Structure 1
Amino acid sequence: MNEAMTKTLSNNPVDPNGESVQRIGRSMARMRLMTGRRLIGRLAIQSAAPGLELSHLDVLDAVRRAQPTGEVTVGMIAEMLRIDPSRASRVVAEMVGRNVLRREASQADARRIVVVITEAGQALLAEILAQKLAIISEIISDWPEQDVERFAALFERFIGGYEAVFLSRDKDTPG
């Protein structure tokens, strides 16, 4: 067992067969199913951009996440989404046709084409985020503010721990 895992386990010995851990596991399974069905994304698309597909949203989000690190190429999008480059190229072309993305020459190498989000794409991202937050707000609308604050803190803590355990055990992650 690695040092981080040992430290985590020794600080808080929780019975993995305890009822609370079992409940968390069952809830995670339910959430995975809903996430797998992309329920929030589908609802957001229905409200914000009917006719858009989840793959369009995935590409738009990949460009949004990658842009701060530098220029975004179709190959980078394909790698991020783990899809075939030809599929990424088709989806980017559809998004260019919708004026959500545009292709332009790289500033670093004019022979290379990069993908950027247009103003319409930024507006679409903002609307989809607003829809997502509205759905979350609806889910917790009858919760006391104290519960919302506590859940937010605990959920952030849980996800941070989840990421840490994953990174400590993932053989493909350097480190």
Structure 2
Amino acid sequence: MNEALNRILSKNPAEPDDESVPRIGRSMGRMRLMTGRRLIGRLAIQSAAPGLELSHLDVLDAVRRAQPDSEVTVGMIAEMLRIDPSRASRVVADMVGRNVLRREASQADARRIVVVITEVGQGLLAEIVAQKLAIISEIVSDWPEEDVDRFAILFERFIGGYEAVFQSRDKDTPG
């Protein structure tokens, strides 16, 4: 076992019963199916931005995640989303046409074109986040507040452990 996993496990010394880990595994399988169908994203689009596709949200989210650290190019978007650069370029062009993204000259190298989120795009991101949070709130609406608080802590810890195990075992992930 790796160090990160040991640290995570040592935070809660209680041993799960024989059925707990398989239950988590089954729930993860169900969640993977729902995540694969992109249910929350689809519902958010229906509510906040009819006419957009999931690929639009993916590009917008990629730009949002990358923008604080660096200037975002179409090539970077393609790499982040693991899609063909021509596909990324088409989606970006469509989003520029919708005034969600804007192309501009790089501040570091005027020969390079970068992609930035417009005010319309920022508003769209805020609305999508609000829709996602509303859906999550609806899911836990009949839970006691203590359960919601505890679940948030445990789920965050579980995802952190999941990431740590993946990164320690994935040969393609820089460690």
| Fold conserved between structures, TM > 0.5 | yes
Q: Deviations over 1:37-78 (max 9, x none)?
A: 000000000000000000000000000000001100000000
- Spell out, residue by residue over 1:102-145, the C-alpha distance to the aligned partner (whole angstroms, 9 max, x if none): 10000111110000000000000000000000000000011111
- Contact 1:5–1:168 under 8 Å retained in 2: no
Structure-2 change in CA distance of 1:138 and 1:114 (3 Å):
same
Match for 2:39: what amino acid? L
- Separation of aligned partners in 1, 2:62 and 2:20: 36
Q: 1:102 to 1:48 in 2, by over 3 A?
A: same
- The residue number in structure 1 matching 2:62 is 62
Q: Which residue of 1 aligns with 2:41?
A: 41
Q: Is the Cα contact below 8 Å between 2:45 and 2:52 reproduced in 1? A: yes
Q: Output the CA distance in 2 between the equivalents of 1:6 and 1:70.
A: 34
> Pairwise mapping of residues 83-162 of structure 1 onto structure 2 (< 5 A)?
83-162=83-162
Alignment partner of 1:62: what SS? Answer: helix
Could you list the runs of 5+ residues in structure 1 that have no partner in the other structure?
none
User: Please, what TM-score do these two structures have when normalized by structure 2?
Assistant: 0.93
How far residue 18 of structure 1 moved from its aligned partner, in angstroms, is 2.1
SS at match of 1:69: coil
CA contact (8 A) 2:5 2:161 kept: no
Q: Structure 2 CA distance, aligned partners of 1:8 and 1:148?
A: 21
Amino acid at match of 2:36: G
Measured after TM superposition, the shift of residue 174 of structure 1 is 2.2
In the superposition, the TM-score normalised over structure 1's length comes to 0.93
1:77/1:88 contact within 8 Å kept: yes
From the superposition, tell whether residues 48 and 7 of structure 1 become closer, same or farther in structure 2 (CA, over 3 Å): closer
Aligned to 1:26: 26
Distance 1:7 1:35 in 2: 28
Kept after mapping to 1: 8 A contact 2:99/2:120: yes
* Contact 2:105 2:114 (C-alpha < 8 Å) held by counterparts: yes
CA shift, 1:167, in A, is: 1.0
Is 1:173 the counterpart of 2:173? The answer is yes
CA distance in 2, matches of 1:64, 1:8: 29
Instruction: Give the % identical residues.
Output: 86
Amino acid at match of 1:137: S
Report the count of equivalent residues: 174
